[in-house]
Amino acid sequence: MVWPFTSSSSKETTSSATASSSATSDKLSSAVEGTLEKVEHEASEMYQSTRASLEELRTTATASPSSLLASLNIPPSVEPYLIATAVFGITTTAVVFYRTRLRRIPTPAYMTPNMLRGKRIMRGKVTSVGDSDNFRFYHTPGGIWAGWGWLRHVPTAKKALMEQTIPVRVAGVDAPENAHFGMPAQPFGKESLEWLRSEINGKSVLIQPYARDRYDRVVAMAWYPRFLPFLPKKNVSVEMLKIGYGQIYRQAGSEYGGMLKEFEKIEAKARSRKIGIWSQKDMVTAAEHKKKHLRGAE
């Protein structure tokens, strides 16, 4: 079927429209290309100008700081205030850095409440291990970068260490008691003490303080190095629970550093393997032992 509206004139109209559309498209493409070239040229000029300005500013700053201020068009009356502000800022930063990173804390008496919230890590050396779950810590802030070990040294004489160490109670664990204050030793008390001494005594450790107990000891998590120093450090509490030389501390003032669930899993595994204190048929906890033999004990 042939439509009556189809004719040669309609074909010519369509061809004319197509040609017009093509011409418009060419003009648009040409305009876009021209705009892009213009933008590219302006961006190049801006880049060159900025680079020249920065180079000039660097040269001025190197040659004379006062000239730098002048080049920034800062009024002379304002310059003293800017200098005073800069000096104050640098001094404040230096003081804060010293107080938080380089000031040595000799005893718990120097520790502020801020230091006992588990938000600060302290580096130091263990000078002695007195019991199965506590030790003496000599604070060495800054470590080797602050000269410890080559310019500054940790004292070894008892007299030099007096009032210079922090007594640390290992957080989250309770080890078997040794004989003291008329109280008999518990099974595995000697073994746990010997183990702790062999692991940390005389070594550099990290502690994370949480609180001070009634004996003025700092309750803290502690980490000590492995055989290879670049490996992650060992957690004293975790290692003690693993080998059955301690159990989770459940008394007042307990601190776990968010690791209670992990401690419970480790303790349960040691108990199932019946190692260390869990090898006893009738195991008495350290807390029960102290309550029985020491008046007022937890």
Q: Point out the catalytic residue in the list 123, 169, 212, 267.
A: 169
Torsion angle of C-alpha atoms 136, 125, 220, 135, degrees rounded to 10: -20
- The question of whether 295 is a catalytic residue gets the answer no
Which residues on neighbouring strands pair with residue 211, listed in sequence order? 219
Q: Point out the catalytic residue in the list 123, 136, 212, 217.
A: 217
CA distance 192 to 245: 5
Q: Point out the catalytic residue in the list 177, 239, 255, 267.
A: 177
Q: What is the largest CA-CA distance in the chain?
A: 124
- The question of whether 103 is a catalytic residue gets the answer no
User: What contacts 24+ positions apart, CB below 8 Å, involve 123-126?
Assistant: 123/204, 123/205, 123/206, 124/166, 124/204, 124/205, 124/207, 125/154, 125/202, 125/203, 125/204, 125/205, 126/200, 126/201, 126/202, 126/203, 126/205
- The question of whether 217 is a catalytic residue gets the answer yes
* Tokens coding 38: 């213009």
Q: Which residues are catalytic?
A: 169, 177, 217
